Structure 1
């Protein structure tokens, strides 16, 4: 991921003005779309250097094919037209990586289970078996890929929906185990400048009031920004949804920094600051890196201008405390 000029310039200006506080990276993928990773030593080093006390860590629920007819391995899921398939082994790799750490290091990670097909009504049984196989290990479910522009377009079958029958079963299980659900559900397509898929999200929220939903990137994505840039309806829509659904938390991981939270000069946008001040307990932040950890600190530091412009209690809540409140009660104690 490349940081834009405004992003880097803002970081340079604010690096000496940052108030000391702890950070939870609320959205970090241990592996990439080929299930490869820099490994735990590299991740722990970056966390130590970047004031990140804990990370909400997950695998990637899909794997990209290196097609027989492609002479070069793609570097990203969108690197060529080769298909993507659902991959449950991602949870096994993450579990093994955490189990191999010493007890103090293990405490720094909040593992989420992600390796299932959200279009499969059997997925709920797979998740239950995984939870019962390692009681108390998994602290959440996700990132669940439902509508995800080109990613889901490369997967065989229809695009998963946040309100599918299969996902409704998963939500009931999440409520049973008191697990938050990190849900990726694009708010629109690459062509439409309106909340095209809002009904899918709202049905999931409305029919599962006991489930703690975390909406990844507030329904945006890198690909949407490439085609749409800023979607003007996002901020007013978030206010409406936060007013309406007490079980919704917004994930402000990296695609939200620009063009939403910061302007072209790297300054916080006043209307976004007002929204964060109005709902200080309803937002979390994260890097959303995938398997490579060099940029974790840079991305997390990109939130500095926004956090520094907020009251200290609100900044600390968004940077750290809010995610702890979402965890299962036994894990948070």
Structure 2
């Protein structure tokens, strides 16, 4: 082997070693918006092929109507103007799917309870009953859909808020059970380039210091990006919020890869790397796939350029360890 060949081989091996890591997918929906799924065998296969040792798994708390007047079933919740309704059975279907697995397979999933209406002050009682029905099974609450662009607009009633009275009751219950809460709360609307709804999130964080909040997509969404592309205030805002609130973790699920973490050439952005290094224990990564798992590995490995550019201990924390620290103490121990 020549010196040049040996050097190339060494660099390749080093690159492979840097990229070889175990992932916890911090945001995975077992079903889609029609409560349909590829199923557990397909999910486990996709996890095995993608270095995903565990997944934070949840249903979807709403279901899309195939309206009587629509000749073709919509492919997504935004496929037509038919309504969306709250769907509690998503939790029981997820529970049954996990219980059907063998004990070793069950350990790979971290189930979150999501099937409730965040605008209903009775929801806290539904959640408590679900927790009592299967003691120790549910490890968190969410994804809670509060402000969620077009999805919210298709749900009958007012837009749920992160700081509603109903959600304050849920947070109190979460603190009682030491359950983290994965919260979807858009930071702004499709038209406003400012943190329009920041007060709702901050109010929840301030009034519930004992609750471990996980902010889904850092308040962004695919629909926001379709209209606004990159929101330049997101990174400075995260820096401010992480400094103020020890109970906040940021979920860097797929909508954050572009246009935030990576530039147009697919390279990590230096200022984002600096933020991740400044708060190495406050970020997790997730796929946010919904019922279909063909792209699971592609999405999770989409974070590799960022993780490879970070110190190894920081990359390991974000890819794997940080989520384990959020789990109920009895589970984490």
The two structures have a TM-score, normalised by structure 2, of 0.95
CA shift in 2, pair 1:39/1:5, >3 Å: farther
Q: Deviations over 1:93-140 (max 9, x none)?
A: 100000000000000000000000000000000000000000000000
- Tell me if the contact between 2:18 and 2:312 (Cα under 8 Å) persists in the aligned partners: no
Q: Greater CA radius of gyration, 1 or 2? A: 2
- Tell me if the contact between 1:216 and 1:253 (Cα under 8 Å) persists in the aligned partners: yes
User: How far, CA to CA, are the matches of 1:164 and 1:141 in structure 2?
Assistant: 16
Q: Which aligned pairs between 1:57-96 and structure 2 lie closer than 5 A?
A: 57-96=57-96
Q: Once the 2 structures are TM-superposed, how far is the Cα of residue 19 of structure 1 from its aligned partner?
A: 2.8
Instruction: Report what 1:141 is aligned to.
Output: 141
CA shift in 2, pair 1:76/1:307, >3 Å: same
CA shift in 2, pair 1:268/1:11, >3 Å: farther
CA shift in 2, pair 1:22/1:153, >3 Å: same
Which runs of no fewer than 5 residues in structure 2 stay unpaired? none
CA shift in 2, pair 1:178/1:38, >3 Å: same
Question: Alignment partner of 2:44: what SS?
Answer: helix
Instruction: Report what 1:189 is aligned to.
Output: 189
- Tell me if the contact between 2:58 and 2:143 (Cα under 8 Å) persists in the aligned partners: yes
What is the count of residue pairs matched by the alignment? 333
User: How far, CA to CA, are the matches of 2:157 and 2:261 in structure 1?
Assistant: 35
Q: Once the 2 structures are TM-superposed, how far is the Cα of residue 157 of structure 1 from its aligned partner?
A: 0.3
- Tell me if the contact between 1:14 and 1:305 (Cα under 8 Å) persists in the aligned partners: no
- Tell me if the contact between 1:7 and 1:302 (Cα under 8 Å) persists in the aligned partners: no
- Tell me if the contact between 1:36 and 1:291 (Cα under 8 Å) persists in the aligned partners: yes
CA RMSD across the alignment: 5.5
Q: Once the 2 structures are TM-superposed, how far is the Cα of residue 20 of structure 1 from its aligned partner?
A: 1.6
- Tell me if the contact between 1:184 and 1:217 (Cα under 8 Å) persists in the aligned partners: yes
Q: Deviations over 1:272-312 (max 9, x none)?
A: 00000000000000000000000000000000000000000
- Tell me if the contact between 1:18 and 1:304 (Cα under 8 Å) persists in the aligned partners: no
CA shift in 2, pair 1:261/1:96, >3 Å: same
Question: Alignment partner of 1:18: what SS?
Answer: helix
Q: Once the 2 structures are TM-superposed, how far is the Cα of residue 55 of structure 1 from its aligned partner?
A: 0.1
Q: Once the 2 structures are TM-superposed, how far is the Cα of residue 21 of structure 1 from its aligned partner?
A: 1.3
User: How far, CA to CA, are the matches of 1:25 and 1:109 in structure 2?
Assistant: 10
CA shift in 2, pair 1:7/1:174, >3 Å: farther
User: How far, CA to CA, are the matches of 1:5 and 1:87 in structure 2?
Assistant: 59
